[in-house]
Chains A and B, each alone.
Chain A
Amino acid sequence: MRSLRPEPQYATLAQQTETAQLGMWTFIATEVMFFGALVFTYFLYRTQYGEQFRLAAQDSKLLLGSINQAILLTSSLTMVMAINFGKEGRQRLLVLLLLATALLGLCFLGVKGYEYLEDYKSSTVPSLNYLLKPGHHPPTELFWVFYFIATGLHAVHLTVGLGLILVLIWMAQRGRFSPNYYSPLEVVGLYWSFVDTVWVFLFAAIYPLGRAAT
């Protein structure tokens, strides 16, 4: 086991752990602004073209979107359990749950990729094959532009998270974590759950926009 001394600028290991978490929270605040700016464009156009957005959203794949949200919510649960086991020093369970989290993340990306394929088939990809359906107006395309940028950026964030979890698995395998040192687990856990939160909002913005036949 490595020696557990804090870096020179910290008095104690606890201070270092706590500071690292605070750093991740700060980073999350910047991420909120980043995605918030995108949602802001969505908010404006939806207030202006509400009906067009509702029409456009009827072509979004609600089932796939909900499956994906269920996957991500579950992965957040497995992640937080992994952290708890890590803190308690239960090595095997920690690795197992990290693996489960990574697997769920991969599933999400798989479903997302399939969804993109379906979107392509229904001719809703701006700049590739966007087809204005009868009764739709150009602003419907704005919805799809938002959809691809938002979900694309989210997928990038998720992939980064996946990479971080693989690193955690590697570290856990080598017994780096102990009840005294688990800071990376906490920090990556925050990030992972935040990416989950982003999806929760994107889901609300994209899928359930009113599908009742009128």
Chain B
Amino acid sequence: MTTVTADLPASYLTKENTIASWLLTSDHKRIALLFFASITFFFFIGGFAATLIRLHLLNPAGTLLQPDMYNRMFTMHGIVMVWFFLIPSIPTTLGNFLIPLMIGARDLAFPKINLASWYVFNISGLVVLFCLFVGGVDTGWTFYTPYSTMFANGYVIPAAVAVFINGFSSIMTGLNFVITIHRLRAPGMTWMRLPLFVWAIYAVSIVMLLATPVLAMTLALVALERWMGVGIFDPQLGGDPLLFQHMFWFYSHPAVYIMILPAMGVVSELVSCFARRPIFGYEGMAYALMAIAVISFFVWAHHMFVAGISIYAGIVFSLLTFFVAVPSAIKVFNWTATLHKGSISFDAPMLYALGFVGLFTIGGLTGLMVATLSIDIHVHDTYFVIAHFHYIMVGGTVSAFFGGLHYWWPKITGRLYPEMWARVAAIVTFLGFNLTFFPQFILGYLGMPRRYYAYDPAWQVWNVLSSAGASILAVAYTLPLFYLGWSLFYGERAGANPWRATGLEWLTSSPPPQHNFPRTPVVRAAPYQYNPADGSYVAQDGSVNA
């Protein structure tokens, strides 16, 4: 680290650089970097599993991996990507780094709990790696009973324990954010002056707090049932096999919004900054985030339309699902409208952001198709659904994560990334992504079920296209590792505000000093006061910049 920071002014990076000073830090910025290291590791583990899956599916006979191996691969891909990358991705890294900076606080409310969250996360990560090395688990990330409790031949209990422990990390992080945003805002930082990223993290924290415990209980019951042989979901005792699904999706549907809400927050920041224009309909955007967070709890049984729930329940949940689309639609239209009469520059973060809007729109609209009851009867549990949720989670969340990472990279490291390479990576990501997942819509409508290690040879051409796309995507995702790594050492020094953005985080030096601000800032202006006509802007402390 010393070489990286050699020519930088005093900052949180230079304060003290022993190993202990990092491992025992209570500085939210350092913890953000610790989390960044952890989730990057898991992103590549999950990505490795994905690569194997796509390679395996090149051949309809499925001869590359043994069937059990294949089943373990997609399970591991799901578990790792959902709980060890997507859910913590933006909140624990960008959220941890930026929330105190954006609201003008010196740290999060409970710094020690924040550090504990990282340790708990890593413990759960070790358990999941243990599970992977002793032989993995083959239930799919959804752990459906009675398969998981009585018939699965993998290590279900370690996997459930890993996710259970992981939940504590989620809860600690969410709790910290909620309390921090309520209690530590700088003078003048009213709710309606919060950057949308802060709103998004607030919304997501509420979902984390109220949904995660239900998953914890559900998985505890699964583990106990598997261990003891009798349990709550056991049909032999008169238990309902669908009860597990109700409880699981009560968490796991909101969890989808845990993944996408922070991404929406990031994109709102990026679109407004690079269009040099106030975000269109700020209040609508903020309320839409909160509405999504709440309504996301009302729709879970749309995962169960063909599972044997009552017809009335199907109708009610389908209707509610259409309602959750409303706030999402508002957001898409408002991002688009923000471009109107802007002064748009297409730097890498903006490319990622626009990619996000496009892919999220496709993902969202196909979401409406699967929410339509009779269409879902056909496409449920086929590749259509796979494509749909990858458009949201990979096309959406991962794009926004990369966009945000590039945008705040100068703030985090004090260095600029190479713009040219970053744009190439952004464009290749977009193309590779579509090539990977668009064919899966077609496969799904043709009727290819998910989690098949071998399939009808008639479907091969689409699978080959998808695998080809995946290899492009793999390259696009590893590229930033290289040029961002390079920029750590050789990147140009960044000033405090390279993007001429309005948030409080840009008022302090890059990288920020240990307690963020030399003096607590006073907020006098709403966010996003950009003027596209002459390029001037008003920062949130009220200072006017030509």
Contacts and interface: CB of A to CB of B under 8 A. Distances in A.
Chain A binding surface, main DSSP class? helix
Contact of B237 (A26, A31, A41, A142): A142
Contacts of B221: 38, 41, 149
B302 interface: no
A116 interface: no
Nearest to B217: A37
A33 B247 contact: no
B450 interface: no
Given A9-B105, A9-B111, A34-B214, A15 B171 contact: no
B214 A37 contact: yes
B442 interface: no
Best-buried of B182, B231, B236 by chain A (most CB within 10 Å): B231
Contacts of A127: 228-230
Given A9-B184, A30-B210, A37 B247 contact: yes
B230 A29 contact: no
Chain B binding surface, main DSSP class? helix
Contacts of B434: none
Interface string A14-43: 010011001100110111011111101100
A8 B214 contact: no
Range for the number of chain A residues in contact with chain B: 35 or more
B239 interface: yes
A22 B232 contact: no
Given A9-B108, A41-B232, A29 B237 contact: no
B178 interface: yes
A30 B106 contact: no
B213 interface: yes
Contacts of A19: 109, 179, 183-184
A146 interface: yes
Contacts of B111: 7, 9
Interface in B376-433: none
A31 B217 CA distance: 10
A7 B240 CA distance: 50
B229 A142 contact: no
Given A26-B179, A33-B210, A34-B217, A142 B238 contact: yes
Contacts of A36: 213-214
A138 B237 CA distance: 5
Nearest to B208: A30
A49 B238 contact: yes
B243 interface: yes
A9 to B, nearest CB: 4
Contact of B110 (A23, A40, A41): A23
Contacts of A29: 209-210
Interface in B138-187: 171, 175, 178-179, 182-184
Nearest to A29: B209
Given A30-B212, A33-B213, A37-B217, A8 B183 contact: no
B228 A44 contact: no
B429 to A, nearest CB: 36
A27 B232 contact: no
B515 A8 contact: yes
Contacts of B216: 34
B174 to A, nearest CB: 9
A170 B210 CA distance: 34
B109 A9 contact: yes
Interface string A126-145: 11001000000111011001
A139 to B, nearest CB: 4
B109 A8 contact: no
Contacts of B217: 34-35, 37-38
Interface string A93-116: 000000000000000000000000
A9 B113 CA distance: 14
B218 interface: yes
A8 B515 CA distance: 8
A203 interface: no
A45 interface: yes
Contacts of A44: 240, 243
B182 A22 contact: yes
A115 to B, nearest CB: 19
A126 B244 CA distance: 20
Contact of B231 (A31, A37, A137, A145): A145
A155 to B, nearest CB: 14
Given A30-B213, A127-B229, A137 B243 contact: no
A201 B3 CA distance: 59
A45 B239 contact: yes
Contacts of A30: 171, 175, 209-210, 212-213
Interface in B197-252: 209-214, 216-218, 220-221, 224, 228-232, 236-240, 243, 247, 250
Interface in A149-179: 149, 153
A197 B200 CA distance: 33
A210 B541 CA distance: 66
B107 A26 contact: no
B136 interface: no
Contacts of B238: 45, 48-49, 137-139, 142
A137 to B, nearest CB: 7
Interface string B97-135: 000100001111111010000000000000000000000
A153 B217 CA distance: 10
Interface string B71-111: 00000000000000000000000000000100001111111
Contacts of A141: 230, 237
Interface of B: 100, 105-111, 113, 171, 175, 178-179, 182-184, 209-214, 216-218, 220-221, 224, 228-232, 236-240, 243, 247, 250, 515
Given A23-B179, A138-B236, 4 more contacts: A22-B183, A30-B213, A127-B230, A138-B237
